[in-house]
């Protein structure tokens, strides 16, 4: 099995962690999706990572789809509940975390533009998305919909999103007034799967 991705992508990290937590052996193929000479497009016509190539030669792309494929393999531990509505809730939280990652990526790309071309309105819009979404994650923890000591698709995705915010220094004050999110991140960051997938220091 091959995982095509970038060491700095939070979406790729999410999939790497799922594979590591389940003890699934895979080869990591480091590809930069934004470089012209990249090989990513041969796996995903959208030119985005991650992509997963199975031992049978099947290719899957888009991180929620890959996460679902991995779960279909039936390898413990389960990262999504079997009960359909509970599974849907976990996947919705994954979508929320993925949205935080997306907003972080947009912010990073916007700030990489020449200063005169940057849109402050766009940066504010992304910061507000991130803030609202983190508030919802904190509320989900308060309400017991997710737990700081649970390892599943939802909590892994949230921790990957927070890891990306930290790595790119997007929303540096995210931890203020969100103690349960801080606890969740600290708990998961101590796991071997997170330590092994930490993005390289710049």
User: Does residue 197 sit in helix, strand or coil?
Assistant: coil
CATH number of residue 60's parent domain:
3.40.30.10
Q: What does the alpha-carbon distance between residue 32 and residue 43 come to, in Å, rounded to a whole number?
A: 13
Secondary structure (H, E, C), 57-88: CCEEECHHHHHHHHHHCCCCCCCCCCCHHHHH
Task: Assess if residue 196 is contained within a domain.
Answer: no
Task: Assess if residue 65 is contained within a domain.
Answer: yes
The per-residue pLDDT for range 21-73, each reduced to its tens digit, is 999 999 999 998 776 666 898 999 999 999 999 999 999 999 999 999 999 99
Task: Assess if residue 126 is contained within a domain.
Answer: yes
Hey, CA dihedral for 121, 126, 130, 135, is it positive or negative?
Answer: positive
Task: Assess if residue 172 is contained within a domain.
Answer: yes
CATH number of residue 128's parent domain:
1.20.1050.10
How many domains are contained in the chain?
2
Query: Which residue ranges of the chain lie beneath pLDDT 50?
Result: none
How much is the pLDDT for 201? 80
Cis peptide before 77 (omega within 30 of 0): yes
How much is the pLDDT for 33? 79
pTM: 0.96
How much is the pLDDT for 22? 98
How much is the pLDDT for 30? 93
Task: Assess if residue 39 is contained within a domain.
Answer: yes
Residues 106 and 182 in one domain: yes
Q: Is 144 left (phi over 0), alpha (psi -120 to 50) or beta?
A: left
CB atoms under 10 Å from CB of 118, counted, come to: 13
Q: Which of 90, 116, 101, 86 is nearest to 11 (CA)?
A: 101
How much is the pLDDT for 101? 98
How much is the pLDDT for 39? 84
Residues 68 and 95 in one domain: no
How much is the pLDDT for 36? 60
Domain range for 108: 84-191
Residues 49 and 93 in one domain: no
């Amino acid at each position: 099995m091959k995982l095509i991705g970038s060491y700095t992508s939070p979406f790729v990290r999410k999939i790497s962690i799922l594979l590591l937590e389940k003890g699934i052996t895979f080869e990591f193929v480091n590809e930069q999706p934004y470089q012209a000479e990249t090989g990513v497009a041969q796996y995903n016509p959208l030119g985005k990572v991650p992509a997963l190539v199975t031992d049978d030669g099947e290719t899957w792309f888009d991180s929620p789809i890959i996460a679902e494929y991995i779960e279909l393999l039936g390898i413990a531990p389960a990262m999504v509940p079997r009960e359909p509505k509970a599974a849907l809730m976990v996947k919705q939280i994954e979508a929320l975390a993925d949205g935080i990652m997306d907003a972080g990526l947009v912010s990073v790309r916007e700030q990489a533009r020449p200063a005169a071309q940057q849109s402050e309105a766009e940066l504010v819009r992304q910061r507000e998305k991130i803030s609202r979404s983190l508030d919802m994650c904190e509320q989900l923890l308060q309400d017991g919909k997710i737990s700081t000591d649970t390892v599943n698709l939802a909590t892994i995705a949230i921790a990957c999103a927070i890891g990306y915010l930290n790595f790119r220094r997007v929303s540096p004050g995210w931890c203020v007034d969100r103690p349960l999110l801080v606890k969740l991140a600290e708990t998961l960051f101590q796991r071997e799967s997170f330590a092994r997938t930490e993005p390289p220091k710049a």
